[in-house]
Structures are given as C-alpha cells and as structure tokens.
C-alpha cells in the first residue's frame, strides 16, 4: 500500500529567498512546480541558480497550495548535491520549527551525469553558437525524512551551505509528502508507448541523416545529409514492398551551403528551409517549392511580419492549407532558448506577427523540430526542457482550442523511442502509421522508425 496513499505536493509559492540571478532562465520561479530537469538532472535553465552558488549560504521559504501532514521533504539538487543543512516547517503560525538538520559525515546519494555533451554537439554543428555548458557533476535528491510527522504544514524553510561542496549548484524543485517512500521525478508518458516495438534503424547508403520529411501520400521521403562540405537534400521513393528505394540527390533543394531541409511535403508543394535571408525584411529563410513531374521549382518566399530570430535558421511545420505556420525560434520574447510560435496567413500570402504558443509547451530550455499532424491539433517535437530520459526527448502535445495558444502538457513518447542520448526531428507518416526520428548513436545521427497506431498518437 506504500505509495498508493502517498500525498505529494510541490512548492507553488515563493515566500522569501536570499538571492536570484533573475530572468526567465535559472530564475527563482524555476523552483516552483514539479521537477522538469529531473530525472535526467544536470545543468538546466529550468532550475534555480543562485548568485552564491559556489560558496555562499542561501535561504528558501516556499509555500504549498494546501496544508498537509509532512513526513518527508525532498530537495532536487541538479548539480553537486549535498548542500542542504537545515529544514524548518510552518504550520500556519508564520514561524518555522526546525525539523531536520544535516548530520555530521552524512552524504547525499548522488550520481554523475554527462548529458550536456549532446546539447553542445547539436547546436555547434547545426544551429548557432552557444555558451559552453559546464561539466555536470553529482546531481541528487535530498530526501529529508522527519523523525516525527508534522500536521498542517503550509510552508517550508530550507537553508543551504554551498561551501560544503565545490562547483556550481542548482535546485530544480521542492516537494513534501506524508510518507517515507522517496519522492521521485515522474516522466509524463503513457503506458501505450511502452508497449511499442523497439525502433529500428533505417539506412540510406550509410549516410548520416539529420532531418526527415515524408509526403502526405506516403510515397516519397526527403532527408538531409551533410557530406562534410554542405547540407544535401535527398529523396527516396517507396517501393511496392514498403521499403525505400536508393536515395536520389536533389540539387534544386540543396542550393544553400547549410541548413537545407524539407519541412513539409505534399504531391504538389514543398516547404524548404535554409535560404539566406536579410534580417529586418520579413524573410524567414523558408520557401515554397512546387512539384512538377518530379522537378522542384522555387516559389514564394515565406515572409512573416517583423520576423526576428537570433539564429541563422529555424525549424518549421505548416498546415496543409498553408493557413498557419509554426516555427521554433529564439528572440527577445522566448522563455529561454528556442520556443514555438505560430503565425497566420494574410490575404497577400505572407504571414502576420509570430505569437507564442504559451508557457505550457514552451519551457525555459529548447523546443525544436516540430511536426503538426493532419488534424491540426497533434504536435510532435523534441525538447530538453521537460522531464525525460536524455538530453533531448520526443514529445507530443495537443491543441486545446482555436487560439493556438493553449496546449496540453507535453507527453514523453517513452523509453522505447527516447534514450539517454539525443532523440529529435520526429516525423509521423500517417499512411503507414510509422514514426521516423533522428537518434545520436556513437556520435552520428541515425534515422530510426517505429510503428505507432494513429489512434494512440493523434488526439481523437
């Protein structure tokens, strides 16, 4: 029965804190709510980093939504765990009673993580320059078990001494429970995904694949591969037995030096990224191509009013009627790294202002490589900003209304698809009910595929 009746709450209110770096990333508000940097842990802009993270003393006072009996207080420490020295609880009087102190020679159980290497690999090679991430050492969870349970707890006070251990420190979340059963970070997923068959690699003449798109009729596949001089686009036709034919180089789609990729394909039209563009002109680097007897003819540039992007390129997906486009970009208004924005088509064929898709789907870290399914409600994407199995995992979220600003909590596609490394660039072929995606294997990007029934993936 342990765990069945366990009542867990996560801190939802800031009462007092001793320091804060400020900003959307690493700010004090990142400590509220359930963990989103655990269980993978490590350096994350989704966690609170203090001004005195190397050697100072810090104090946190956090409130909870409802009073409850507390037997355990859990502090999720992203980096160099073991710095919690004292915990007090408030039962409604506004005063804190000390209920736990660090014992001499006690060490918090920790583990070593090395996930950020994948983060650096992806962005240095394919997107933009970023600051070096520090080595990630010894995350852990301080499970403070109280000698006696305390009733009616409404707030906790946590004292930390960062001089106890060298290196950077971060706190992801603080939870309370009425049980001694250790509080852990739960990945938001569905048992349906755990019953999938294991994903298999899809090889194209040994080429390293960094992105993939499949035509709506399922008959043609496009992928990008770098031949050490530039990003090249290839296509492959589906054979009668369901396999893909040998890839064909598409020079018309490989004109730019970098970032050549197909984001959307129908039998008559492609959306391609990678064009050089002039910032401030409304150009986005994306362009429509018409399909004529197997030839790809350049069409209109995709222009968005007041378009702004820190990066040289972006990721995109679009509705089949071209009325709404979704982009992953970083700007002055993003929560942290790249966020998802949408824009609606105007009468002249250009698009209006980018609008954020909201804080539920956009974390303080990176959201990338979106694909919107044909129902215009189901969005697949990759992110390192939610609890997952590795650095970047693949998630699904569902549009909840017609504003395009309200989305369901991202759901992880599970351990059969996501690994402890880099999993990204999902593209779902609705005709064969197969998910294609990119996985980092031994330092190389490999295309993988797995069958997922459309009824289990698409919101009905």
Helix (H) or strand (E) holding 253: none
Distance CA 12, CA 364 (A): 17
* CA nearest to 367, candidates 417, 414, 407, 307: 407
Which residue do the tokens 């707030």 mark?
155
User: What is this structure's pTM?
Assistant: 0.92
| Helix residue ranges per DSSP H, 88-219 | 116-126, 191-194
Which 3 state secondary structure label does DSSP give 421? coil
Q: Is the separation of the CB atoms in 27 and 46 below 8 Å?
A: no
CB-count burial class (<10 Å; 0-12, 13-18, 19+) for 121: middle
Give me the pLDDT at residue 323, please: 98
Residue 343 is predicted with a pLDDT of: 98
Q: 253, 331, 260, 242: which is closest to 289 by C-alpha?
A: 253
pLDDT number for residue 115: 53
- The residues that bridge with 248 in the sheet, in sequence order, are 235
Which CATH number fits the domain 8-177, given the four candidates 2.60.120.260, 2.40.30.10, 3.40.50.300, 1.50.10.10?
2.60.120.260
Average pLDDT of the chain to the nearest whole number: 90
Give the pLDDT confidence score for residue 56 in this predicted structure. Answer: 86
CB 168 within 8 A of CB 107: no
Sketch the domain layout of the chain as residue ranges. Answer: 8-177, 191-457
Task: Supply the pLDDT for residue 188.
Answer: 96
pLDDT score of 307: 94
The pLDDT of residue 3: 42
Q: What is the CA radius of gyration of the chain?
A: 24
Domains 8-177 and 191-457 share a fold: no
State the DSSP H helix or E strand holding residue 454, giving kind and residue range, or none if neither: helix 454-457
Residue 136: DSSP 8-state? P
Distance of alpha carbon 460 from alpha carbon 449, whole angstroms:
23
Given a cut of 50, the residues of the chain with pLDDT beneath it are 1-3, 116-134
What is the arrangement of strands in the sheet containing 261-265, beginning at the earlier edge strand?
261-265, 269-273, 283-292, 295-303
Our separate counts of H helices and E strands in the chain read 3, 27
* Contact of 281 with 312, CB cutoff 8 Å: no
Fold exhibited by the domain 191-457: Tachylectin-2; Chain A (2.115.10)
């Amino acid at each position: 029965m342990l765990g069945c009746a366990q009542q867990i709450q996560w801190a939802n209110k800031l009462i007092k804190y001793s320091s804060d770096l400020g900003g959307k990333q690493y700010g004090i508000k990142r400590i509220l709510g359930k963990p989103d940097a655990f269980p993978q842990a490590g350096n994350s802009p989704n966690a609170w980093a203090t001004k005195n993270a190397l050697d100072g003393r810090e104090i946190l006072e956090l409130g909870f939504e409802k009073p409850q009996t507390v037997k355990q207080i859990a502090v999720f420490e992203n980096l160099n765990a073991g710095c919690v020295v004292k915990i007090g609880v408030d039962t409604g009087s506004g005063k804190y009673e000390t209920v736990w102190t660090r014992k001499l020679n006690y060490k918090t159980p920790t583990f070593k993580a090395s996930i950020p290497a994948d983060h650096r690999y992806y962005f240095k090679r394919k997107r933009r320059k970023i600051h070096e991430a520090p080595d990630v050492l010894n995350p852990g969870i301080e499970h403070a078990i109280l000698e006696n349970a305390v009733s009616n707890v409404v707030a906790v006070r946590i004292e930390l001494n960062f001089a106890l251990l060298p290196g950077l420190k971060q706190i992801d979340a603080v939870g309370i429970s009425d049980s001694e059963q250790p509080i852990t970070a739960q990945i938001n997923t569905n048992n349906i995904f755990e019953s999938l068959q294991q994903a298999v690699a899809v090889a194209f003449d040994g080429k390293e694949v960094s992105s993939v798109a499949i035509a709506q009729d399922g008959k043609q596949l496009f992928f990008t591969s770098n031949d050490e001089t530039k990003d090249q686009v290839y296509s492959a036709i589906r054979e009668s037995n369901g396999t893909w034919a040998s890839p064909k180089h598409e020079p018309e789609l490989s004109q730019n030096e970098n970032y050549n990729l197909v984001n959307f394909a129908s039998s008559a039209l492609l959306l391609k990224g990678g064009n050089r563009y002039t910032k401030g002109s409304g150009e986005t680097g994306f362009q429509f191509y018409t399909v004529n007897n197997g030839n790809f003819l350049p069409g209109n540039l995709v222009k968005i009013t007041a378009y702004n992007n820190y990066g040289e390129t972006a990721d995109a997906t679009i509705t089949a009627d071209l009325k709404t486009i979704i982009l992953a970009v970083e700007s002055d208004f993003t929560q942290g790294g790249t966020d998802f924005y949408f824009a609606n088509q105007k009468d002249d064929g250009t698009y209006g202002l980018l609008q954020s898709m909201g804080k539920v789907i956009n974390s303080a870290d990176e959201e990338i490589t979106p694909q919107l399914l044909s129902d215009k409600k189901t969005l697949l994407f990759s992110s390192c900003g939610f609890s997952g199995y590795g650095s970047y995992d693949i998630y699904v979220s569902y549009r909840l209304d017609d504003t395009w600003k309200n989305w369901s909590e991202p759901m992880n596609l599970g351990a059969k698809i996501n690994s402890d490394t880099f999993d990204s660039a999902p593209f779902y072929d609705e005709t064969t009910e197969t998910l294609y995606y990119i996985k980092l294997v031994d330092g190389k990007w490999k295309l993988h595929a797995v069958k997922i029934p459309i009824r289990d993936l698409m919101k009905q």
